[in-house]
Amino acid sequence: MEATHGSLLERVARRVESRMSQPLVPLEASGRHVHLCRADIDALFGAGHALERRADLSQPGQFLCRERIKVSGPKGDFGSMAILGPERRESQVELSATDALALGIDAPVRLSGDIAGTPGARLAGPKGEVGLARGAIVARRHIHMEPRYAARCGARDGQIVSVYVCGGRPVTFHGVVLRVSPDFATYMHIDYDEANACGFSKGMLGFLENY
Ligand SMILES: [Zn+2]
């Protein structure tokens, strides 16, 4: 067992050393959450209700709300799901693949906002319920990047890249969508299935590859 452990450690160490000059991206794991449009906030919490900020997220202007809601599918529900603000043009439910199975919702892997043809879900708040016709997705793994850092890395908006994560369970994530905007802080976002798959812990970094 010791020899196996030693050789794995050596392989990882060699790989890390060879990538010392490669760009790094910090990782964040996003739990299941919903984004809500104005009409759905009115229906769930009462007309004109303003979502209350509980904590700021890493992306500028984005925040975790104090309010929570119940989200249901044909096979189950989550009684107290996080809401992320500010309000969006259209409501959206972001799940891990495991969450989607628990709800019985066949949610496809999509980038946030790309919800054409996706299944819906049932939302319940203190003042009412909403049956979403669409908007349930498993978020595609992606990187938010500031233009200055992208220029330094030689990376471009819209590129599909890979990210090697050297955690407790070393893994390379492929098919990662790179998004560059002055509105972003530089972070790679993965869901909890992916976080568990790579042995994620807070503050973990990934090496940008194939860009
Ligand atoms: Zn994100």
**Dist CA 71 CA 35 (whole Å):** 12
Q: Is the pLDDT of residue 148 over 90?
A: yes
Question: Which residues contact residue 56 at a Cβ distance below 8 angstroms, ignoring those fewer than 6 apart?
Answer: 62, 63, 64
Is 80 exceeded by the pLDDT of residue 20?
A: no
38-96: per-residue pLDDT in tens? 999 999 999 999 999 999 999 999 999 999 999 999 999 999 999 999 999 999 999 99
Percentage with pLDDT > 70 across the chain: 98
Domains of the chain plus CATH, in order, are 20-29+141-209 (2.40.40.20), 31-139 (no CATH)
Handedness of CA 38, 105, 72, 144 (dihedral sign): negative
Mean pLDDT for the chain overall: 94
Cα of 143 to ligand 1 centre, how many Å? Answer: 7
pLDDT for the residue numbered 5: 64
CA distance 184 to 147: 9
Q: What would the mean pLDDT of 134-155 be, rounded to a whole number?
A: 96
What confidence tens digit (pLDDT) does each residue in 181-193 have? Answer: 999 999 999 999 9
Q: Is the dihedral of CA 59, 144, 199, 110 positive or negative?
A: positive
Q: Show Cβ contacts of residue 166 under 8 Å, excluding neighbours closer than 6 positions.
A: 12, 15, 16, 205, 207
How much distance in Å is there from the Cα of 125 to the middle of ligand 1? 25
CB burial of residue 160 (10 Å; 0-12, 13-18, 19+): exposed
**Length in residues, the chain:** 211
Distance between CA atoms of 114 and 96, rounded to whole angstroms? 16
pLDDT digits (tens, 9 = 90+) for 103-135: 999 999 999 999 999 999 999 999 999 999 999
- Output the CA 6–ligand 1 centroid distance in Å: 36
Q: How far is the CA of 71 from the centre of ligand 1 (A)?
A: 21
Q: How far is the CA of 7 from the centre of ligand 1 (A)?
A: 35
167 falls in which pLDDT band (50, 70, 90)?
Answer: confident
Is the CB of residue 185 less than 8 Å from the CB of residue 59?
yes
pLDDT over 50 at 1, yes or no: no
